[in-house]
Structure 1
Amino acid sequence: MDHTRRFRVYCNHVIPGLLQTQDYATAVIAAYGTFHALADTDATSAARARLERSKVLARPGRTFAFVLEERTLRPGVADAAATAGQLERLLTVMALPQVSLGIVPAGPPAYCGPPSPSPSTTAPRSGSSCCPRG
C-alpha cells in the first residue's frame, strides 16, 4: 500500500476495509471468523489494525475510487447502530477530494431504449440493451 497511488475498489457484500469504522470492522471480522469456524478470532484487534491501514486515505498523492453495491449500505453483517455509524463515516470520507464513491443501485435498471411504438410497450424486448450505444 505504501507505493500505490491509485486505488480502485469494488465491493458487493460489505463496505471496503479502508472505509470501515471500528464497530463495523469488528462485526465483519467476527462474522468471517464464525463463517470459517475459526476457533480464536480476535476481531477487535484485527479491526484496530484495519483502521490503522485506513490512514492511507489521508496521505498526499493518492486517489481512491470505490464502487459499492447498494446492499452494502443496509444492515446485515453489522447491527443497525454499527451500520448507522458506518454510513456517517462514508459521508465524511466522500467529502475528501481524493476519494470518489459510487453506488450501484439494487434492482433492474430503468428502461432507456428507443421510444415505444405504442403506449402499452414499457419494457425492452428480450435480449435488447438498456445502455446507449455510441
Structure 2
Amino acid sequence: MTASPFSSAQAARQRLGDRLREIREDAGLSGRALAAAAGWHGGSKISKIEHAVRPPSPDDIRLWCQVCGVGSERAEELIAALRAAESMWLDWRRAEQTGLLPLNVQVRSIFESTRLLRAYSSKVVPGLLQSSAYTRAVLSAIRDSRKVPVDDVDAVLIEREARKAVLREGDHRFVFVVEESVLRYRIGASDVMAAQLRHLLEVSALPSVSLGVIPQDADRSLQHPAESFVMFDNTRVNVELVSGYLTVTEPAEVGMYMRVFSHLVALAVHGRRARALLDAALRAFG
C-alpha cells in the first residue's frame, strides 16, 4: 500500500498494528519472544506489522493470537479489520485483475444512497456526466494503458448507463466542478468530444445538477488544481490516483476535502458563464 501516511487507509492499518501490539504486551511477550514462538526469524516482522510498515496476513493474525493466548473470535475480528483497511486502498492491478466491471458494480449502491454528491475533476469529465461514446473512449484507454486482462468495456457501459439514473430519479443533488482544460482535453475523436460537450450542456440544465467550470486564467494562488475526487455526503471521499483507488472515511481527512472543494467552487464560474466556456470548447471541436 503506497497511500500517504496521513490517509484513512494508513490510519486503519496503524490501528490494527496498535491492537496487535496491545495483545502482545498483555501477554507479557517481547517482539523477539513472539517471533520465536511463532517461528518467525528475528523480531523485524513484528515491528513492521505493529508500525504498519507491512500488513499481516490472516494466518499471521491467527498465529499471533494463538501464541498470545487470545481466542479465535478475537482473531477473526482483527482479520475483519485487516480486510476493511485493505479495502480502503486498491491498486489498479489488484482492482482490475478480473476486468473493469466488478469495481463499477461495487460502487453503484453508494451513488444510489448518497443524497449530496460533490465531484471535482482536473482530467476527464466526471463519470455521471459522460456521454456513452466518451465513456467508451475513457474505458478503452484504461483497458489498454493498464493492460486489463479482461475486456468487459461493453458490460461496464451498461452498468455506467444504469448508474446515471440517479441524476433524474430520487432525492439527490449533485455539485460538479471541472477545470476548463477538461473541456478541451481530447478523449477519442473530435466528434466524440463535440457530442460530450453537447451532452454536458444538456445535463447541466437538470434541476438536480450544478456544474462549475474553473477558467484557465483563474487566480490559483490559494488553491492549486488537485487530484480528482468524489465526495459522498459528508462521510466518504473516493480519490483516483495514478497508482490506485483510495477511499477516505476519517472525519478529519474528509473535512480537508470539503474545504478544498469549497475553494474550488469559489474559483469556478456557473450558469451563463460556464455555458459560455462550454460553447467555446464546442466550437473548437465543431
Distance 2:193 2:185 in 1: 6
The answer to whether the Cα contact below 8 Å between 2:124 and 2:185 also exists between their aligned partners in 1 is: no
RMSD of the TM alignment (CA)? 1.7
- Of 78-87 and 68-77, deviating more is 68-77
Conserved 8 A contact 2:139-2:153: yes
Whether 1:33 aligns to 2:143 is yes
Contact 1:19 1:93 survives alignment (8 Å) = yes
How far off is 1:59 after superposition?
1.3
What residue is the counterpart of 1:121 in the other structure?
none
What is the aligned-residue identity percentage?
36
Shift of 1:107: 4.0
Q: Which runs of 4+ in 1 moved over 6 A?
A: none
**CA shift for structure 1 position 97:** 1.3
The answer for the alignment partner of 2:13 in structure 1 is none
Q: CA deviation at 1:70?
A: 1.0
Q: What amino acid is aligned across from residue 71 of structure 1 in structure 2? A: S
- Find the aligned partners of 2:194 and 2:183 in 1 and give their Cα distance: 9
Matched with 1:99 is: 209
Bigger relative CO (Cα 8 Å, ≥ 6 apart): 1
Shift of 1:75: 4.3
Superposition deviation, residue 94 in structure 1: 1.1
Number of aligned residues: 110
* Cα distance in 1 between the residues matched to 2:206 and 2:148: 37
Q: Deviations over 1:30-86 (max 9, x none)?
A: 001111012332323212211110111001311000001111112422211111111
Please report the TM-score for the alignment, with normalisation by the length of structure 1: 0.75
Task: Tell me how far apart the structure 2 counterparts of residues 61 and 13 of structure 1 sit (CA, whole Å).
Answer: 28
Q: Structure 2: give runs of 5+ residues left out of the alignment.
A: 1-110, 221-286
SS class of match (1:2)? helix
Q: Determine if contact 1:27/1:43 at 8 Å carries over to the other structure.
A: no
Cα distance in 2 for residues equivalent to 1:68 and 1:86 = 14
The unaligned stretches of length 5 or more in structure 1 are 111-134
**Among residues 180, 192, 196, which one is paired with 1:86 in the alignment?**
196
Distance 2:192 2:168 in 1: 23
Question: Match of 1:24?
Answer: 134
Measured against aligned partners, the alpha-carbon deviations of 1:99-127 in whole angstroms (never above 9, x if no partner) come to 000011124539xxxxxxxxxxxxxxxxx
Which residue in the other structure is 1:55 paired with?
165
In the alignment, the residues of structure 1 paired with residue 207 and residue 132 of structure 2 have an alpha-carbon distance, to the nearest angstrom, of 23
Of structures 1 and 2, the larger Rg is shown by 2
Choose from 44, 65, 77 the match for 2:175.
65
Quote the Cα distance in structure 1 between the aligned partners of 2:157 and 2:184. 20
